[in-house]
Structures are given as structure tokens and as C-alpha cells.
């Protein structure tokens, strides 16, 4: 299975986050350091939707304990890449 490119993961992650963010303007300028709750205004309930959509979009399974690790866009990209290996 070819390794998924960083840019593809980032784009896929941002597509999901945009769907659940209440601040579309912030999503337009989001980077790896953007914090999901504080910067992109994804509330705690929508974080769960983000995780479930990651599972569907990337065909992975994310444990509850791994959700702790998703604080920034970069954290999400790293987790998806790790679980896709």
C-alpha cells in the first residue's frame, strides 16, 4: 500500500474539520499549529464527529485514548499518518 502523501492527509483532515468548524474564515488560513477548539472553533461534540469522519475518510479506527492526542491540525495529520501505516 503506497504511503499517503502529507499534503493529501492535510487536505483530507482539513476537509473534515471545515465541515464541523463554526469559523470557516479561520479554516481558510489554518495550518498545522491551528488548535481545533481554540482557533478553529470546533466544539467538543463536533470533535467526536471529526474523529468519526476521519475514520470514514481514511478507513482507520481511532481509539478513544488517541482522541486525547488530537489538539491541533498537525496532531490530527500525524495520527492519521500513523494509523494508515
* Interface positions with other proteins (CB under 8 A): 43-45, 48-49, 51-53, 64-65, 67-68, 71
- Nearest distance, CB of residue 50 and other proteins, angstroms: 9
Q: How far is the CB of 67 from other proteins (least distance, A)?
A: 7
CB of residue 49 to other proteins, shortest distance in Å = 5
Nearer Cβ to other proteins (18/71): 71
How is the chain classified by DSSP, letter by letter? -PPPPHHHHHHHHHHHHHHH-S-HHHHHT--TT-BTTTTT---HHHHHHHHHHHHHHHT----HHHHTT-SBHHHHHHHHHHHH-
Amino acid at each position: 500500500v503506497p504511503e499517503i502523501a502529507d499534503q493529501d492527509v492535510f487536505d483530507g483532515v482539513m476537509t473534515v474539520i471545515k465541515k464541523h468548524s463554526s469559523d470557516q474564515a479561520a479554516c481558510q488560513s489554518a495550518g498545522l499549529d491551528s488548535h481545533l477548539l481554540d482557533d478553529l472553533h470546533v466544539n467538543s461534540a463536533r470533535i467526536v464527529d471529526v474523529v468519526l469522519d476521519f475514520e470514514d475518510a481514511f478507513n482507520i479506527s481511532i481509539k478513544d485514548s488517541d482522541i486525547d492526542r488530537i489538539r491541533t491540525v498537525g496532531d490530527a495529520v500525524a495520527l492519521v499518518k500513523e494509523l494508515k501505516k
